Every structure is written in structure tokens, then in C-alpha cells.
Chains A and B, each alone.
Chain A
Amino acid sequence: MAHLHDAERMGETPHWVPEDIIGNMTLKTLLFSHDYRHIAIKGILTSILMLGLGGLMALLFRTELAAPDIQFFGARPYMQLMTLHGMFMVFGFVIPFVISLNYYMMPKVLGTGRLLWAGAAQWSYWLLILAAVFLVIARPDFTWTFYPPMSLRVGGDLVFLGYLAVALVAVSEFLAGAVLMRNGWEAARRIGLGKLPLMGWGAISEGILLMGSTPILAVVGVTMLTDWMELTALFDPARGGSVVTFMYMFWFYGHPAVYLPLMPAIAVLYTLLPRFLGRPIWSHWSAVIAFSILTLLGFVVFPHHFQPAENVVGPLERATQILTLAIFIPSTLHVFNWISTLWSDRIPDSARRAIPFKFIVASIFFLMLGGVTAYVNAQIATDSDFVHNTYFVPAHFHAMFVGFMANMAMAGAYYLYPYFTGRMFSQRLANTHFWLWQIGIFSKVTLMYYLGFVYFPRWVVDYLPLQQWAVPQMLLTGAAYMIGLGFIFFVINFMWSATRGRTADADPWALSDDAVTSGATAHPAE
């Protein structure tokens, strides 16, 4: 065997025997077991709960935004909902969900057999739970970027818990990064970088991003706390501090944070696509190059988040623009690779019917829809016009976070479902979930792009009754409800099928297209 790559590992034989792992879990194993499947299932279930809570918050504030003027919430509760929504969705749902999928898959895909440093994964989980509890108690209204001096002055008496939560999230993510790095590196050491599956490359890239960026977030969280306590004055300009320092420190984490759910989601995609198609990824090394460039660029393009500020000028501004535009290239390498893999041979009927495969295809679609507008986001001239802090920005990141990463999270969850419940989910309910999500997400993202183009500002509870704002906002609220309804179908399906679903076959995702299974020739990775 010349190459041990994903197709040969995933395409020929299933990873696990379907069994009712969840049904056999006790409270003790759920809380403290170091079995990789228990840790991953705990993370996935908690992420689904966070998705439900964050989504409920979104529906509440979207209901408020359906029409101009203030209907239900004042500005403060609205911003508390908005802040908690962002933090729950990013730190509580999408990042831990896709990392948990990696925890589940790595031991088999990378051949380590178990999750190395499982204790660190356990600590990572519990610290994140503690952070979520702190956030709920503090109910900060300062958005996930908590810019000083605003957040130092308007956060309320319990805001210190919000800063502690930020520091805890940083430690939690650092530990998760260490676990991914340890497992990816161990596999590379054992079988060599040349044979390392793409999930291993994803784990190493993610490990570098997490371990490189989170320490500075911890420093920012603690320093905000000491600034708030007036022990220090690093970020408060009224006391001699500098918001510019904050911007550079925060966004050094903040931009890689965008990639934290991206890398594991891409790794899952590279792992599952060959499994459903029964053939290898079109170009292994193109994917490795794309992972590497994306990781490097992830650390250097962060000033684009505050580009229309006076302090980002001259050569730094130009360099940031060029490097941000250059992100196009590794992203395109990934997309080109996936489409080429799809196109290079027949798509088996079993894949076309498989719900995870449908979510994978939708993810690729939304990565393009979200990624392509980065072309105007990156340019200083357009950023200084209709992009910066209008709805164009949330349109971009909702396409990426929800359209790509959340869809990939769902692909992974549906894929693993028979392996940890021993049963198949309802295809009809899953299809309903799929279509409600895709129509809802597409409507939401395109309406947000339009609203950004007509300068609708972010973070507002109330807005002027302009037709070009009010009508899309009403439709946008409808799209959000559609996504929420899809989530309800997903939860019902997961709960109902766990006890009443059809018993899963020995290989729940067996290829059922004879033309492929008998005629496939594995093209060696380039």
C-alpha cells in the first residue's frame, strides 16, 4: 500500500460497529469517562444544547427586529441576548461541536486507538461549562468583542464574571488545541507526515491556531478584569491606557478564532467525502498546502477587523489588504479539491440518499457564498464604504459559521449517529431538517448581504422605518424561524430515533452503487 490516506482508511471499511453507546452510558461515564467516544458524545450533546439556547436567543431578538421601533425589548436586554447569542454559538456550539467530532474520529482515522491526553479534553470541557455559567450570570451587553473603554463602563456590577469567562474560554480552547496537536503529531510521528491522513493535518493546523492564539486572549481577559478593578490601566484611555493595544491583542486571537471551527470542519469534510464516494480525495497534497497556508495567514491578517481606523494606515494597511485577499487562494484550493473529487467519478446512489452527504454538499455551497464576498471585505475602499460594521459582515460570517461549519457539524452528527445509538435516524425528518436549514440559511445570508449593501448597521435594537431596511428585516426574521423549525425537527429526530429508529446495519453507510464499488480505482494522492 503506497499511501495510507483517508480513502483507504475510510472508503473500504467502516470505523465502528454500531452500538448503543449513549443508552449504556451512566451518569458517571457521561461526566467523567476518558473514553474518547464518551468525551465526544458529551461535547456533541452539550453543543446541541448550546445551539438550542443560542438559537432561542436569536429568535427572540429577531422577533424584535422584524419591525422598526421597539416592540418587546429595551436596548440592554436586547444587547444581552445578542452578546450571549454570539458567545454561545461560537464558543459553546460550533467550535466545541466540530472539535468533538474530531475527538470521535481521530482515534480511528489516525490509528491512535484512543484519544491521547483525554484528561486535558475533559478539563477543556468543564472549563467551558464554567465559562458559560459565568456568562449567563453576568449577562454582559458588550458584544463578543467587548471593546474598551465601552465595556469597562457599561457592563454592570457582574461584568467581572464576563471577563473571567473570557479567560476560561481561552484556557479551555488552549487545552483542546493541545489535545488535537498531541493526537495529530503522534500519528505523524508514527506513520510519517507523508502518510498522515488529512484529519491529522487538520488537527495539527487547529492545534497551532488554538495554542498560538488563546494565550493572548487569556491575557486580554485578565487585563480587562484588572482594568475594570482599576488595578491596571492598560486599555482605558481615560487613565492613560490604549485601545489600540487592545485591538491588536484581541484580534490576534479574534481572527484565528474565526478559523477555529473552520479547520476541524474542513478535516471532517475531507474524512467523510471519500467515505461516501468510495474514492480518495482528488489531491491530498493540495489539501495539505491549503491547510498550511490558511494556518499561516490566520495569524497575520487580523488588522483587517479594524481597518477603517486611523491607526491602520500605510504599509501595514496595504499588507493587510494583500494578505487578506490572499486567503482566497487556500480557500479555493480546498473547494477546487472537493469539487474535483465529486466530479472525477460516479457519485454512488447511496451517497445521494445519505443525509450527511447532503449536508456536506450544502457546506461546500455556503463556503463559496460566504468566502467569495471576502474579496470586497478585504479591500480597504469597499470596507470603508458599505462593509465595515454593516450587516455585510454578519452575512459573511453567518454564511461561514452556519452555512459551512454548522452544516458540517450536522453532517458529522448524522454520520456518527448510528455508531453511538445503534439505530438509524428518520430519513424523512432529517430531510425536512435539511431543507428547512438550507432555504432558511440561504435566505438569511442573502438578505443580510443586501441589508449590508444598504448600510444597515450591526448591533441595533431599533432602526429607521426605511423600506429598504424594514422589508428585508421582516423576511430575515421569517428565515430565522425556518432555521429554528429545522432545529426542532433535528432534536425530535435524534431523541425519537434513539429508541424507535431502525436498527443500524453493520455498515450504515455502505456503498450501494455497484458501478462504483466494483469499478472504482483508487487514484493515489498526488
Chain B
Amino acid sequence: MESALGLSGYQATMMIIVFVLLGIGIGALFLALFLPQRWKPKYWMEVAFVALLIGVVWYGDMRSTQVVNAYQGQMADAGVLDEPAIDGAEGFDRELKVIAFQWGFAFLTEDNKISRNAAVVKPGETILFRIFSNDVIHGFNIPAAGITAEFDPGKERDVWIRAPLEPGKYLIQCLNYCGVGHAQMKAWLVVEGPEDEAVDGEGSGA
């Protein structure tokens, strides 16, 4: 599954760095506690370790920025980030308007078909979600696509994903507490298989 941000490689690298740093720290703590040999570290060692960490910080910032810039670049090229935003932006296979409300999502297709709590797409296509909340702050998370966004009421927020290649139903959920019905604020990204294509032509809801 290719995620929108392309995080799999970068994400794995960052988690490895986390585990290595944790291993160094915990290893040093256990050695300090249980190793019979006593040893007073030199002060330059701390300076060297901080220098190493500055390198780690620089690397994390650089990689994260590269990933985010590449992600946003796709939208910038399509004019999505322009002010005012272009309606019907080119560059994406599908564009869906999303209305988030207490407590659900409604999806509006380019030909003004609306479906509540289900976005119907095709495998592998790129989808631009133009999200709008008309009541409170909500979140928009598609775990299968590795994307999370938070958006304020009255202001449009745009995110894009590449749909999973495997047909099926993928969870869409609110990730920002938005009132007592927050736990129920879910929808589905429905990736159609070839057998569903006929239905697609007639529009579908859930």
C-alpha cells in the first residue's frame, strides 16, 4: 500500500533512529548500574554526544521537510493551495468535497452526487479531499493512507491521498475530540473492485 506521504521508508528510518537512541540510553543506564567497573565520563564526551544529537535533529528536520514539501508540491502544482483556491483543480484523478459535522462526514463528488459516510474511489487513483467543517474543530484521518489533518470551522482544508490498490473498505475517522459523539464520527473509503464498476456509474452511498 502506497501512502500519500510516502512515509514507509522515511517512517521506518525515523523509528530505527528512535530505537537506536533508546537502546544507547537504556544500555548506558544498565551499565552504569550493574557493570562492576566504574568510569567517570569526560566532559568532552557530553559535548560530542550533543553534537551527534544536533546531527540527528538536522537529519529529522531535513527528511520531514522533504516529505512534506513533496506532498504539498503535488497540491501546489495543481493550484489547490492558491488563494482563492481553484475549483476543479487538475492533477488529481478525483476530487471530493467533504463536509465534516457533528458527527459524520458527507462526500460530494464533482458531479454533485452526495454520499454520507462513504467515499467511493477506484484502486490507486489520486484523490483530493477538500474538507470543510460547519460546526466545530474536527480531524480527518485515513489510516490506510497515512494521513491526518485537523481543520477549523469555516475554513477549507485540502489533503490528498493515493487510494489503496486492494479493493475494500478503509476506515476514515475523526481524530479531534468534537463532542460526545466523537467516537461515532467515522466513514469509509470504499475502493471499488472491477465487479463494482457498473454500480459506480449509477453512484453509490452508504
Contact = CB atoms under 8 A, between A and B. Distances in A.
A429 interface: no
Contact of B183 (A142, A373, A386, A460): A460
Contacts of A368: 22, 25-26, 29
B40 A344 contact: yes
Contacts of A461: 183
Contact of A344 (B38, B153, B178, B184): B38
Given A150-B178, A344-B38, A306 B56 contact: no
A325 B62 CA distance: 11
A237 B10 contact: no
A340 B40 contact: yes
A457 B174 contact: yes
7 contacts: A286-B43, A343-B31, A343-B39, A372-B25, A383-B148, A384-B68, A455-B171
A179 to B, nearest CB: 33
Interface in A251-279: none
Contacts of B68: 380-381, 384
A282 B41 contact: yes
A345 interface: yes
3 nearest CB pairs, A to B? A460-B183, A343-B32, A379-B64
A485 B134 CA distance: 45
B67 to A, nearest CB: 4
Contacts of A376: 14-15, 18
A463 B181 CA distance: 12
A372 B46 contact: no
Contacts of B94: none
B60 A379 contact: yes
B195 to A, nearest CB: 25
B177 A309 contact: no
Interface in B86-102: none
B114 interface: no
A244 B5 contact: no
Given A149-B153, A340-B40, A343-B31, A384 B183 contact: no
B1 interface: no
A143 interface: yes
Contact of A286 (B22, B46, B154): B46
A385 B148 contact: yes
Contacts of B53: 328-329, 332
A308 interface: yes
A237 B153 contact: yes
Interface in B132-158: 135-137, 139, 141, 143, 146-155, 157
B82 interface: no
Given A321-B61, A342-B32, A75 B183 contact: yes
A488 interface: no
B7 interface: yes
A63 to B, nearest CB: 16
Contact of A318 (B63, B65, B178): B65
Interface string B45-83: 010011001101100110111011001000000000000
A378 to B, nearest CB: 7
Interface size of B as a range:
35 or more
Interface of B: 3, 5, 7, 10-11, 14-15, 17-18, 21-22, 25-26, 28-29, 31-33, 35, 38-41, 43, 46, 49-50, 53-54, 56-57, 60-61, 63-65, 67-68, 71, 135-137, 139, 141, 143, 146-155, 157, 171, 173-184, 186
A389 B46 CA distance: 34
Interface string A297-315: 0000000001011110000
Interface size of A as a range:
35 or more
A526 B150 contact: no
A347 B38 CA distance: 9
Interface in A118-175: 141-143, 145, 147, 149-150, 153-154
A340 to B, nearest CB: 5
Nearest to A466: B171
A147 B14 contact: no
Given A306-B150, A343-B38, A464-B171, A153 B136 contact: yes
Nearest to B179: A154
A502 to B, nearest CB: 27
Contacts of A346: 38
Given A328-B53, A375-B56, A382-B64, A364 B151 contact: no
A87 to B, nearest CB: 14
A381 B7 contact: yes
A372 B155 CA distance: 35
A459 B7 contact: no
B46 A333 contact: yes
A406 interface: no
A88 to B, nearest CB: 18
A220 interface: no
B32 A389 contact: no
A325 B147 contact: no
A322 interface: yes
B38 A309 contact: no
A344 B42 CA distance: 10
Identify which of B3, B7, B49, B175 gathers the most chain A CB atoms within 10 Å of its CB.
B175
A326 B57 contact: yes
A141 B135 CA distance: 18
Contacts of B32: 339-340, 342-343
Nearest to A361: B33
Nearest to B152: A243
Given A243-B152, A308-B148, A457 B141 contact: yes
